[in-house]
Structure 1
Amino acid sequence: MATFQAVKKALNLAPTVRSLPSGVPAAPLLNLAVRAPSSGHDHHGASGPRSDVAPKWTGGVSRTSAGLVSKTFSTAPAVSFHQHRLLHTSVVRKDAPEVPDFSPYRASSTDGNRALSYFMVGSLGVLSASAAKSSVSEFLQTMAASADVLALAKVELEIGNIPEGKNVIIKWRGKPVFIRHRTQSEIEEARSVDWKTFRDPQSDEERVKKPDWLVMLGVCTHLGCVPIGEAGDYGGWFCPCHGSHYDISGRARKGPAPLNLEIPQYEFNEAEGKLVIG
């Protein structure tokens, strides 16, 4: 096993280490050619450095997990000095551009500027409200009734061809409408009874616009059946489904019907002799 002694310090090397022609082991991790810096006279006497201890500048060999590591200091690290350069120490540039003056563009009066701001805000508010109203109106129009439905909203009927004492049934908004041309005796009968004692008290004058014409919906107020005209115990209408009786004015007089027959909205067109329902 080859050994090498340096600065009175033994170091065991592996037997596979090569040797130089001079017999010195070739250790790649050791820098044997390093030289100490020249100092002239190196006679320190008894107080000088020990000869058996290697100086710090020669580095040394240390064993780590990666193997032998040799440290050699040949030159001292350079020392750099930094100086902070402040803004006030800089040289003033004479050709630096000046800040432009915006005073000609500023408002001469703050009140006028405020009035303009209020006017712009108000104008934008009015425009926004108008746009919102238009949008809502367009949306509601999409849910409105179609043209064919509006066409059936009103029904016109020539009443000159209906004789006294006869009934006419027409269809309006999917419901039957009874139109009765009453005689004078029927009018007197409808107005001679004590209507205040009825289940749904209502006078005949309240139910007609003209005494000789009675217009009402032909739907039973009990369960929505269609009563039969000129029938029943009172000479008016009778519902055979559940036995409800109505008089000549369409008022409930007997049976389970809780209310009188409903009167729709209608008017007379005297110029053309027509009855307009709706």
Structure 2
Amino acid sequence: MEAALASESKKGSATGAAQASGHGHGEHGEATRRDFITTAALGWAGVGGALALWPFIQQMNPDASTQALASTELDLAPIKEGQAVTVMWRGKPVFIRNRTKDEIAKAVATPVGELSDRTLASDKDRTKKGKENWLVLVGICTHLGCIPKGQSLADQKGDYGGWFCPCHGSHYDTAGRIRKGPAPRNLEVPPYEFVSDTKIRIG
């Protein structure tokens, strides 16, 4: 009798353990499925968010008409020798001067070794071959961003006949190179080209 009871007890224990084990596997499987569903949902949500943002990202890219505004053309014919004009390019003033023979001669005669900024500083580096009378510069002082004087015939042009920045006293010569004062660099030469004998495109 006792043996029979012991046998029944072992069977009951085995059955309970099996049920407990089966229950544990079921919970683990259910958790795995839940994790997969959650991960998949988050992944699709990320894709959907990116797709929703795409039109706004595209709007930030400039179209052809906007890119066209990045360049500007100017007819040089009305600008007489010794005169200068200022045009705007990408929100910056650009100085264009039709230099006199004397201004060109002074710029060419200046040894590059005397300059504080010698980077592409020779006169031929700052003008176009065959168009050396035309000087094109970004009209922003390289010290603190003021606009130098020198475009008008009545303007003070500094000690070197080019441009003078009244903010802190930087003097630029007739090639736009810094010669005196705190400015660390020469006036920038923007990218430009001659599209005809009397017309340039800046940018």
Q: TM-score range by the shorter chain?
A: 0.5 to 0.7
Corresponding position of 2:86:
169
Counterparts of residues 17-166 of structure 1 (less than 5 Å): 141-146=58-63, 149-166=66-83
Moved over 4 A (4+): 137-140
Alpha-carbon separation, structure 1, partners of 2:166 and 2:79: 26
Long gaps (5+) in structure 1: 1-134
State the secondary structure of the residue aligned to 2:113: helix
Match of 2:123 among 168, 187, 204: 204
RMSD (Å) for aligned C-alpha atoms: 2.1
Work out whether 1:247 is the aligned partner of 2:173: yes
Corresponding position of 1:191:
108
Work out whether 1:275 is the aligned partner of 2:200: yes
- Post-superposition Cα deviations, 1:157-193, rounded to whole Å, max 9, x if no partner, equal 1001100001100111110000000111111110001
- The sequence identity of aligned pairs, in percent, is 56
Higher mean Cα deviation, 196-205 or 137-146? 137-146
Long gaps (5+) in structure 2: 1-50
Count of paired positions: 143
Corresponding position of 1:180:
97
- Post-superposition Cα deviations, 1:40-89, rounded to whole Å, max 9, x if no partner, equal xxxxxxxxxxxxxxxxxxxxxxxxxxxxxxxxxxxxxxxxxxxxxxxxxx
- TM-score when scaled to structure 1? 0.48
State the secondary structure of the residue aligned to 1:161: coil
Q: Which structure: larger Rg?
A: 1
Corresponding position of 2:164:
238
State the secondary structure of the residue aligned to 2:86: strand
For 2:139, the aligned partner's letter is G
Report the structure, 1 or 2, having the larger helix content: 2
- Post-superposition Cα deviations, 1:68-119, rounded to whole Å, max 9, x if no partner, equal xxxxxxxxxxxxxxxxxxxxxxxxxxxxxxxxxxxxxxxxxxxxxxxxxxxx
Higher relative contact order (CA 8 A, sep 6+): 2
Match of 2:141 among 220, 228, 231: 220
Alpha-carbon separation, structure 1, partners of 2:171 and 2:69: 30
